[in-house]
Chains A and B, each alone.
Chain A
Amino acid sequence: MIELLPRLRRYALTLASNEFDADDLLQVTIERALTRSHQFHSADSPDRWMFTIMSSVWKNDLRARAIRQGKGFVDPETLSHTSFESHPEGNVLYSEILEMVGRLPETQREVIVLVYVEGFKYSEAAKILNVPIGTIMSRISRARLTLGTQLGLNDMTAMEDRC
């Protein structure tokens, strides 16, 4: 299962604001999974289980800790401070996507990554984040709206002109 680590770290980077916090999140997630391995059911998807733990750890522990350390209350709907590095291959579109997703509010950013990057179904993302599926649809919708606006893709007329 060690091969799951790169994906988990990527998700940690999605949630946390920097690599230090991401690594911390990854470590705590692993330790939590180890201590709760008896709670895993064979019917579960291993990766979904791990992503669920990471999401929970982030929301309940690490983010809360950051808030306790003086950042005050932070509304995850407005929390948008993840900064991904530019795409190493210098692909402009890829770099732009990373940057735009990084600027999304946390709740939208995590859904975009879970669904479009990690390939989870809406229902799986809902379980991972412990929210109703309608919330997933709403967050994806708002995220795509934001991303589309930034790329100038939301105006149908403009799109028609482009095509």
Chain B
Amino acid sequence: MLVQDHPKRDLLIAFVDGELDADQEREINRLIKLDPDAEKFVELLWRSALPYSEAFESLLSLPVPNKAKDAIEPDRESLKKTSNDRFSSASYNAAAGQSNSVQPSSSQPRFFPNDRFSLPLWLGVTAGFATGVFMTVLLSGWVFSSRPSTFVDSVSQYQSLYQRETVVNARVDVPALKEMMLQQLGRNITIPDFSDQGLEFKRGQLLQMSGKPLIQLVYLGSDGLPLALCITPSDTTGGETVSALSKRVPEFGERHGLNYGHWQKAGLDFVIVGDDSVSVSAATRQSISTMEI
């Protein structure tokens, strides 16, 4: 008799695999006692079990692309070097007046910290309440190291993980966001309107980089590509004055596959990061000329 001929084939295989519930097991045990073919089939299954796991073990040793690792831990090399200098995030609830600002994160891996899979909400979740009154910006567990000179690099690396789905459903309470920006940066800063370029303002977040607040404003283009404007206090630890740090002429470049425009003004560092160089350039120049600080 061939295996495929047995009418209870599926159940017998599940029995051998230990996948049946108690009632089904009793049924199969009865069947085996009464049906010699079933008994032989089960015996055959036991004997013919193949070492699948061992055979596939070798595929685990194939190298995983660095791109995949970097997507999860873009700072994994830097993390090994330092545990104090980090770019992390905090949550901010403008409506409740709470700002869990700049909570230094632990040295846990960025992805799935605290032994939980869900916590590294590097995406942040903007929970715009139905009333429109509240804006809660839940900030991510993003953690990667940053040096002052790598502000643009860190932001670009972070932004390279963004895609349309990251922000498409986000909602933002602009007055609350501006209040938060005032608290964190000490200045009233206008939020640029890039709608003429087909960019819709989707979300504002408070992040942290090297112990300093970092405001991230994210726009979504009609082409489905996100663009971000990030602002953080300039580093003055080197003895430079605020005025000396001003760099009104933007620097344009490319990092981590994204284009950026970087400038400094009034003691703040600004960077615009996005896929399209034309959009980045236009947004950068518009920001410099129209943003009131």
Contact = CB atoms under 8 A, between A and B. Distances in A.
A151 B53 contact: no
Contacts of B163: 31, 35
Contacts, number: 167
A151 B50 CA distance: 10
A40 to B, nearest CB: 4
Given A2-B73, A26-B65, A163-B47, A38 B118 contact: yes
A37 B65 contact: no
B71 A122 contact: no
Interface stretch (B55-63, B143-151, B256-264): B55-63
Interface string B12-30: 0110010100000000000
Contacts of A62: none
A97 B123 contact: no
A38 B166 CA distance: 11
B65 A27 contact: yes
A122 B166 CA distance: 33
B51 A94 contact: yes
Contacts of A79: none
Contacts of A93: 51, 55
B220 interface: no
B129 interface: no
Given A2-B111, A145-B3, A154-B2, A9 B62 contact: yes
Interface in B109-152: 109, 111-112, 116-123, 125
Contact of B54 (A94, A141, A145): A94
Contacts of A5: 64, 68-69, 72
A122 B14 contact: yes
Residue in B3, B13, B117 whose Cβ sees the most chain A Cβ within 10 Å:
B117
B123 A35 contact: yes
B223 interface: no
Interface string A1-33: 110011101100100000000010011001110
Given A44-B117, A97-B52, A145-B3, A30 B72 contact: yes
B125 A38 contact: yes
Task: Classify chain A: how many residues form its interface, as a range.
Answer: 35 or more
A57 interface: no
Contact of B17 (A27, A88, A122, A156): A122
Majority secondary structure, A binding face: helix
A128 B51 CA distance: 23
Contacts of A39: 118
A10 B60 CA distance: 6
Given A2-B111, A6-B64, A94 B17 contact: no
A75 interface: no
Contacts of A32: 165
A40 B118 contact: yes
B112 A141 contact: no
Contact of B53 (A36, A116, A140): A116
Contacts of B3: 144-145, 148, 154, 156
Q: Which 6 A-B pairs have the closest CB atoms?
A: A40-B118, A46-B117, A116-B52, A97-B55, A94-B55, A153-B48
Given A6-B60, A137-B13, A140-B13, 16 more contacts: A7-B60, A9-B68, A23-B67, A26-B65, A27-B71, A30-B71, A35-B163, A35-B165, A40-B118, A46-B112, A87-B55, A93-B55, A97-B50, A113-B52, A119-B53, A153-B48
Interface of A: 1-2, 5-7, 9-10, 13, 23, 26-27, 30-32, 34-42, 44, 46, 49, 84, 87-89, 91, 93-95, 97-98, 101, 112-113, 115-117, 119, 121-122, 134, 137-138, 140-141, 144-145, 147-148, 151, 153-157, 159-160, 163
11 contacts: A1-B117, A5-B68, A23-B67, A31-B71, A34-B72, A38-B125, A93-B55, A94-B54, A97-B50, A113-B56, A137-B10
